[in-house]
DNA sequence: CGGTTACTTGAGTTCCGTCAACCGAAGTGG
DNA sequence: CCACTTCGGTTGACGGAACTCAAGTAACCG
């Protein structure tokens, strides 16, 4: 059975920063409100500028949150996964979405209208609390992106920062290990979109990092051998 | 009498996105919790990395929210003013502050401990709602900064975007006017810190904008004559 | 008047984006 | 089965934009 199985009560997607970590009575409510929906890879859940009249809770799959310029340049702010809520900040303000959301693989989500979600928040203080934490996480992710782009003056620093942040999230070996070992399914193009760099520059830098022994690549597996050294490229 | 006069009930700082726009009973509570404090220009309210155990409500004055690199480079994420809450996102997550806050002029703030604030949120659903909106605004500001830095490839585009965003906030003529007229009290250094540019580049670009008739400068008064044209520099 | 802060301008240099060509793998369709 | 396309990655050459360094001006203030 997939993580969700369309049932919020038996769903195994939980965790400290997971929106769905709620007491049973709230989960009962969550189960019956909104609707379940699937998206294929490449499909958009929502677009920038649209009226923020609903929120999405990710049940399964990865979703790119992006901002685009009129010339077609794309910036990836964050990649949302199971347990994340999408569109919450804009919906809470009752304005328009400030970013777009695009499925990176086949995804399952729960769609809840703004008004329904507001009611849901009013009924349970835990929902309120989790919503606040969800938006806070969004806020931190955006802050981190901005800081990266503004403070690391070199392309190497920006890319290093993206790799390390990504690695710290998806680390597959123990936290205690000095090395970071993780899956890196993103294309150079996507890494570039996160770091504000061109695809070619990403290729060149990853090659350089590899040659210098800072990272190791084996297919989708990436190992950052010396996180501190990589981090110091920030300069 | 200054805007606040240390009394939340008679304070005139209100507005749609103001945290203190609350019903009377909540204001009564707000009046008695926390403590009132003053900061001189240049003093720090909080530093990056510190335990997020309190939040600040700005009563009066402007406060820079900044991120700094180890080399001393500074990035200004946002400038908070009366009615804004500082440190909320980090406090809600119970982690550390991700940014620093520095008074730009003599300021008055209300300091509330994290636990006291959480209680306050639990007592009034309106406080909850306003806290959510406050964090959402933070989130949007950070997103805007990130988008600016990532998507505008030229320095001119970044600076233009900072000027226009600043202008739209502090506009002193009617909203209907095509031109943006506003106070620009920031130094070139500060503008650079917001746009991710060096001080010299800001000087050169402002000169260029002025020579091209895109903006007009009279002391602290700035007029953006052709916002659309300036905005198109985004390229 | 000296000291500080902000702004201005010039010269030199480097970094990275762009353009272009090319490779290998995977998928598609007749 | 093979020609064709697409996608992701790689590498080289080039040029321009912006950073840095440096020197100098202007305004303000005790």
pLDDT tens-digit readout, B120-175:
999 999 999 999 999 999 999 999 999 999 999 899 999 999 999 999 887 777 66
Q: Identify the H or E element spanning B104.
A: none
| pLDDT exceeds cutoff 80 at A83 | yes
For A102, A169, B194, B209, the CA distances from A59, given in Å and listed in that order, are 15, 18, 37, 49
Q: Which residue in this structure is represented by tokens 């509570």?
A: B29
Residue A8 binned pLDDT confidence (cut-offs 50, 70, 90): confident
- CB contact A72 to B (< 8 Å): no
Protein CA A71 to sugar C1' C11 (Å): 34
Which nucleotides in chain D have some atom under 7 angstroms from a protein Cβ?
Answer: 7-13, 17-22
Contact A92 B142 (CB under 8 A): no
Chain A's closest residue to B73, CA to CA, is A151
Distance (Å, whole) CA B9 – CA A117: 31
pLDDT at B88: 97
Residues 6+ apart with CB under 8 A from B187: none
For A58, A61, A112, A193, B66, the CA distances from A33, given in Å and listed in that order, are 15, 21, 7, 35, 40
CB atoms within 10 A of CB A160: 26
Show the tokens assigned to B75. Answer: 């990035």
Quick one: B24-138 is in which CATH superfamily?
Answer: Jelly Rolls (2.60.120.10)
Using the CA of B153, which nucleotide's C1' is the nearest one?
Answer: C17
Question: Are residues B47 and B97 in contact, defined by beta-carbon separation less than 8 angstroms?
Answer: yes
- CB contact B190 to A (< 8 Å): no
- CB contact A137 to B (< 8 Å): yes
Question: Are residues A2 and A17 in contact, defined by beta-carbon separation less than 8 angstroms?
Answer: no
Strand order in the sheet with A85-86: A35-39, A107-113, A54-60, A85-86
Residue B1 binned pLDDT confidence (cut-offs 50, 70, 90): very low
Mean pLDDT in residue range A153-171: 91
Tell which wins on pLDDT, B235 or A202: A202
Residue B204 CB closer than 7 angstroms to strand C?
yes
- CB contact B94 to A (< 8 Å): no
Q: Is B156 helix (H, G, I), strand (E, B) or coil?
A: helix
Mean pLDDT in residue range A21-34: 94
CATH 3.60.20.10, domain A152-234, yes or no: no
Q: With contacts defined as CB-CB under 8 Å, which chain A residues touch B161?
A: none
Q: What is the residue-averaged pLDDT of chain B?
A: 92
pLDDT at A1: 43
Q: What is the tally of helices (H) and strands (E) in chain A?
A: 8, 11
For B15, B113, B199, the CA distances from B84, given in Å and listed in that order, are 11, 16, 28
Mean pLDDT in residue range B100-118: 95
pLDDT at B219: 86
Q: Is A132 helix (H, G, I), strand (E, B) or coil?
A: helix
Contact A73 B151 (CB under 8 A): yes
| pLDDT exceeds cutoff 90 at A100 | yes
pLDDT at A14: 87
Residue B106 binned pLDDT confidence (cut-offs 50, 70, 90): very high
Q: Which residue is nearest to nucleotide C9 (CA to C1')?
A: B204
For A99, B157, B187, B197, B203, the CA distances from B160, given in Å and listed in that order, are 21, 5, 15, 12, 13
Contact A149 B150 (CB under 8 A): yes
Q: What is the residue-averaged pLDDT of chain A?
A: 92
* Cα B189 versus chain centre, distance: 17
Mean pLDDT in residue range B173-192: 87
A151 → closest Cβ in B73, B93, B235: B73
CATH 2.60.120.10, domain A24-147, yes or no: yes
Mutation choice for B interface testing from A65, A73, A132, A191 by most B CBs within 10 A? A132
pLDDT at A3: 53
Protein CA A206 to sugar C1' C22 (Å): 20
B4-60 pLDDT, tens digit per residue, is 568 888 888 888 889 999 999 999 999 999 999 999 999 999 999 999 999 999 999
Question: Residues of A177-199 as b/e, b for ≥16 C-beta within 10 angstroms?
Answer: eeebbbebebebebbbbbbbbbe
Protein CA B227 to sugar C1' D24 (Å): 34
Q: What is the DSSP secondary structure assignment for residue B70, as one 8-state letter?
A: T
Every domain of chain B and the residues it spans: 24-138, 152-234
Long-range contacts of B60-63 (CB under 8 A, 24+ apart): B60/B2, B60/B3, B60/B4, B60/B13, B60/B107, B60/B108, B61/B103, B61/B104, B61/B105, B61/B106, B61/B107, B61/B108, B61/B109, B62/B103, B62/B104, B62/B105, B62/B107, B63/B101, B63/B102, B63/B103, B63/B104, B63/B107, B63/B109
pLDDT at A53: 97
| pLDDT exceeds cutoff 90 at B70 | no
| pLDDT exceeds cutoff 60 at A189 | yes
* Residue B178 backbone dihedrals phi, psi, to 5 degrees: -70, -40
């Amino acid at each position: 059975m997939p993580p969700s199985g369309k049932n919020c009560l038996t769903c195994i997607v939980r965790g400290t920063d997971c929106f769905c970590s709620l007491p049973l009575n709230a989960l009962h409510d969550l189960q019956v409100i909104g609707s379940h929906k699937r998206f294929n890879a490449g499909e958009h859940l929502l677009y920038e500028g649209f009226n923020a009249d609903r929120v999405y809770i990710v049940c399964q799959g990865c979703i790119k949150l992006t901002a685009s310029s009129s010339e077609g340049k794309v910036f990836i702010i964050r990649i949302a996964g199971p347990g994340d809520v999408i569109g919450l900040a804009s919906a809470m303000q009752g304005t328009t979405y400030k970013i777009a959301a695009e499925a990176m693989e086949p995804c399952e989500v729960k769609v809840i209208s703004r008004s329904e979600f507001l009611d849901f928040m009013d009924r349970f203080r835990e929902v309120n609390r989790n919503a606040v934490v969800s938006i806070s996480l969004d806020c931190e992710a955006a802050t981190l992106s901005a800081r990266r782009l503004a403070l690391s003056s070199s392309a190497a620093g920006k890319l290093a920062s993206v790799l390390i942040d990504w690695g710290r999230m998806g680390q597959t070996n123990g936290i205690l290990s000095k090395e970071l070992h993780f899956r890196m399914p993103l294309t150079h193009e996507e890494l570039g979109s996160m770091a504000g760099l061109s695809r070619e520059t990403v290729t060149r830098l990853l090659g350089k990092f590899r040659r210098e022994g800072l990272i190791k690549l084996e297919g989708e597996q990436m190992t950052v051998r010396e996180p501190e050294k990589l981090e110091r490229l920030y300069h």
